[in-house]
Structure formats: C-alpha cells, structure tokens
Amino acid sequence: MAKSEIFNKIFNAFILIGMAIVTIIVTAIKLGDADSGHTMLIIAAVGSLMGVLSTVLSANGRILTFLFGLIDVTIYGVMCLLGAKYGNAALHLLYFLPMQFVGFFQWRKRGAAEGERVRARRLSGRQWLLFGSIFLAGLLAAYFILCALDKTEAAGVIRWLVLMDALSMMCNILGQLLLSTAYMEQWFFWIGVNIASVIMWVLTLRQSPDSSYALIYVVKYSFYLLNSLNGLRIWIGLSRFDQQSS
C-alpha cells in the first residue's frame, strides 16, 4: 500500500473518530445544563456526525457522500433558521438539499460507483475568471441583502456576523456547484466556507453563551477545515490526468 494511502486512512480515522469523541463530550456537557435545548442539541450532534462522514467521503471522491450529505444539510438548514442565519438556512434547504440529487447523478456519469472514485477535472483560466467575478458580485449582494434582513446584530461599519454569513453562503454555492460537477477547485471554496463558518459560530457563541448547538458547529467546522485541506491534496492528484489531457 502506498504511503499516501496509509496517510489517508489514518487521517480519515482521525477526523471521524475525533469528531465523534468531541461531539459526544460536548453534547454530554451541554445536556447537563438545564437551560439548554436538549432536543436541538442532540439533533445538531447527529447532523454534525453525518456531515463529517459526508465530507470525508467527498474528499476521497466517493459517491456515498451525497447520502450522508442529504441528512446533514437538512438538519443544518433548520438549525440555521432557528439561529437567525437566514442566508445559510435558505442556502441549505433550497439549494444544497436538491443539489445532493444533482451531484449523485452527475458523479455517476463521471464513473463514480461502489468502490470507484469519481473522475475529477480542473477549471480553465477563463472559468476561473468567471467564477471569481460571480463570487465577488454575489458576496456584495448577499452582504447588503442580509444586512437588511438581519436585526440581531448592532449596526457598525462592518457587520462581521452578517459578513461571515454572506461569505459562507457564496463559498457554499460555488463549492457545491463545483463539487456536483467534479472540479478540483471546489476545495478552495470549501476552505473559505469552513473558515467563515468557524468565525460565524464563534461570534454567535460570544453573543449567546447559552446556545446549546453553537459550540457543536464550532467543533464541526474546525474538523471540516482540516478535512478540506486533505481533500484539496487528494483532488489535485485525482484531477492530474484531466490537466495532462487538456
């Protein structure tokens, strides 16, 4: 077995086992707090574990990512709605949810099946310019729209919680599109999603220390960030043939 495969197995086990242990510990601690929403906490914990499993499978180019992703995005979308993260709520329930089905069928067309990884590809320079322009325009539009909708954060020069919500939203949209069509560059957007999401939920926790599920999502997206870095490494290799043949 190649060294890279051995490393990948160990890293995947670390992400999955580490996330499970931390989630169980945090959940148990929060369950002991009488003021916490126990039902939402348990649901958030289950969704987080499904999400981590989905992202690990995605990083490895496995089509089962869409099965576990379906569970994760549904739960997370509802939690965002309850936490007044309207951008992410709409994103997950109205976009991510149906895109799980789109991605499944697109990956099947690119050779993904049981035991087989998807055939990855890379963006051209012109496609990079297009996606970059869409990202910047969408980020500005999302920020100002969410500022008008959100009433939970005091106004300032920059409303950081809203900005992180908008940044996460745009990275999610483009990341999911590139994931569903098997482009390696999706991982740059997922890295952006995870950094923005960690900051967003940390800010939420600072504003509402009694939030029973915010800490779960801080932990979740910290593990996601590590996995997205590994996913970038793997998909650079998976898409190398596409670069050589273009």
Question: Whole-prediction pTM value?
Answer: 0.80
Residue ranges in the chain whose pLDDT is less than 50: none
DSSP helix/strand/coil, 212: coil
Those residues with Cβ within 8 angstroms of residue 146's Cβ, 6 or more apart along the chain or in another chain: 86, 87, 162, 165, 166, 169
DSSP helix/strand/coil, 121: strand
pLDDT number for residue 235: 93
pLDDT number for residue 33: 65
Cα–Cα dist 14/223, whole Å: 10
pLDDT number for residue 1: 58
What are the residues facing 183 on neighbouring strands? Answer: 121
Cα–Cα dist 117/126, whole Å: 27
Predicted confidence (pLDDT) per residue in 151-168, tens digit: 665 555 567 778 888 888
Cα–Cα dist 53/246, whole Å: 33
Pair 80, 172: CB distance under 8 Å: no
